């Protein structure tokens, strides 16, 4: 064998060895990331306090996921800043699939327009996994309000400008922004009165402090049959399975109106796509289990699922929508 041929063979062997070694490094072997995952417990960060609807949904699903993964799934409540504290924590976590966040519409779609110096970017700091659930918003009224439905409410608001008020769970909350969207689409003025949470907002309607309130259906469920409030409409695009007899605002006076209190699960950006796919498959499978659906309904929730791509597009569309509402209304956080 000639010297030049020996050189060529040697170079070829070295190049082949290098290519093999490169293909085995974790950073370039995304498809193999799932082989040993998960090998330790997962942490699911919930961006609101224990006891709320998002926390309830997390604690329903976590044990089921633990069974499927063979690893525990720990729920970690990190409330504050409209969900921003928990989202910031997860944005800065290792992109290995072991730290996830259950975030709300507010933290993902409204916060960028409400907080001037947001510490995370919903568009670039996360890898979307799946939509997770919704707690539909409802427009409720004191029984003494003359309006029997949304169409009559709009007429009343236009005939008595400035005399009606609506309560929400606080400035900058999804309920507040839903009210501002309603005012914008109906060209009415209804005074916003912020409270600290949906329960106090509901109490304000029951006591007559305000004529109206926007709350999540989970909060008002115990009072639906009491006669101390009346429901004028559901704010989701379609009727809710939790209150199938209640019309949507869209079908009863405000065509095209849609506002949902939704939750989604995300991982840190750069989490391997194979792990994202596995998470999506397992979580959506659990959410479709009859037992889980029943427990969600008992908590005033409806499961939602999506592909990662659908969730990404949904966050973008919701961000555009609520940015316009915030700008037009001048809504600010507490």
pLDDT of the residue at 306? 98
Q: Which of the 8 DSSP states describes residue 7?
A: H
pLDDT of the residue at 224? 77
Q: Domains, the chain, ranges and CATH?
A: 40-135+261-329 (3.40.190.150), 137-234 (3.40.190.10)
Is 136 in contact with 260 (CB distance < 8 Å)? yes
Q: Per the omega criterion (within 30 degrees of 0), is the bond before 205 cis?
A: no
**3-state SS assignment for residue 233:** strand
pLDDT of the residue at 1? 47
Over the range 51-63, which residues count as b (16 or more CB within 10 Å of their CB) and which as e?
Answer: ebbbbbbbbbbbe
Token output for 176: 């507040």
For tokens 């309560």, what's the residue?
A: 167
**Environment class of residue 272 by beta-carbon count within 10 Å: exposed (0-12), middle (13-18) or buried (19+)?**
buried
Is 66 in contact with 73 (CB distance < 8 Å)? yes
pLDDT of the residue at 14? 44
Helix then strand then coil, % of the chain, to nearest 5: 45, 15, 35
Is 76 in contact with 44 (CB distance < 8 Å)? yes
Token output for 174: 């999804």
Residues 6+ positions from 270 with CB-CB distance below 8 Å: 95, 127
pLDDT of the residue at 30? 56
d(CA 318, CA 299): 25
pLDDT of the residue at 281? 98
d(CA 228, CA 267): 42
**Tens digits of pLDDT across the chain (334 residues):** 444 444 443 444 444 444 434 344 444 445 556 678 999 999 999 998 888 888 999 999 999 999 999 999 999 999 998 899 999 999 999 999 999 999 999 999 999 999 989 999 999 999 999 999 998 899 999 999 999 999 999 999 999 998 999 999 999 999 999 999 999 999 999 999 999 888 899 999 999 999 999 998 888 888 877 888 999 999 999 999 888 999 999 999 999 999 988 999 999 999 999 999 999 999 999 999 999 999 999 888 999 999 999 999 999 999 999 999 999 999 988 6
Token output for 93: 């976590």
């Amino acid at each position: 064998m000639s010297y030049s041929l020996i050189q060529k063979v040697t170079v070829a062997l070295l190049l082949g060895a290098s290519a093999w070694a490169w293909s085995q490094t974790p950073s370039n072997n995304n498809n193999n990331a799932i082989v040993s995952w998960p090998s330790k417990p997962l942490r699911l960060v919930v961006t609101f306090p224990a006891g709320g609807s998002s926390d309830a949904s997390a604690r329903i699903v976590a044990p089921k996921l633990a069974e499927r993964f063979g690893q525990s799934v720990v729920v970690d409540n990190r409330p504050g800043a409209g969900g921003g504290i928990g989202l910031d924590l997860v944005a800065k976590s290792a992109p290995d699939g072991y730290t996830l966040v259950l975030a709300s519409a507010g933290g993902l779609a409204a916060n960028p327009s409400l907080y001037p110096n947001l510490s995370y970017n919903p568009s670039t700091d996360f890898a979307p996994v799946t939509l997770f659930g919704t707690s539909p918003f409802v427009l409720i009224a004191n029984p003494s309000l003359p309006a029997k439905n949304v169409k009559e409410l709009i007429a009343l608001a236009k005939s008595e400008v400035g005399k009606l008020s609506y309560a929400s769970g606080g400035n900058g909350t999804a309920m507040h922004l839903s009210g501002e969207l309603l005012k914008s689409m109906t060209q009415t003025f209804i005074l916003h009165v912020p409270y600290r949470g949906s329960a106090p907002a509901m109490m304000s309607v029951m006591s007559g402090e305000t004529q109206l309130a926007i709350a999540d259906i989970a909060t008002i469920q115990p009072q639906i049959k009491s006669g101390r409030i009346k429901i004028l409409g559901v704010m989701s695009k379609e009727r809710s399975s939790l209150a199938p007899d209640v019309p949507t605002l869209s079908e009863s006076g405000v065509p095209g109106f849609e506002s949902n209190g939704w939750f989604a699960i995300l991982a840190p950006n750069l989490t391997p796509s194979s792990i994202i796919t596995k998470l999506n498959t397992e979580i959506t499978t659990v959410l479709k289990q009859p037992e889980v659906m029943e427990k969600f309904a008992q908590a005033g929730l409806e499961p939602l699922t999506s592909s990662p791509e659908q969730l990404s597009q949904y966050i973008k569309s919701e961000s555009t929508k609520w940015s316009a509402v915030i700008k037009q209304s001048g809504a600010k956080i507490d």
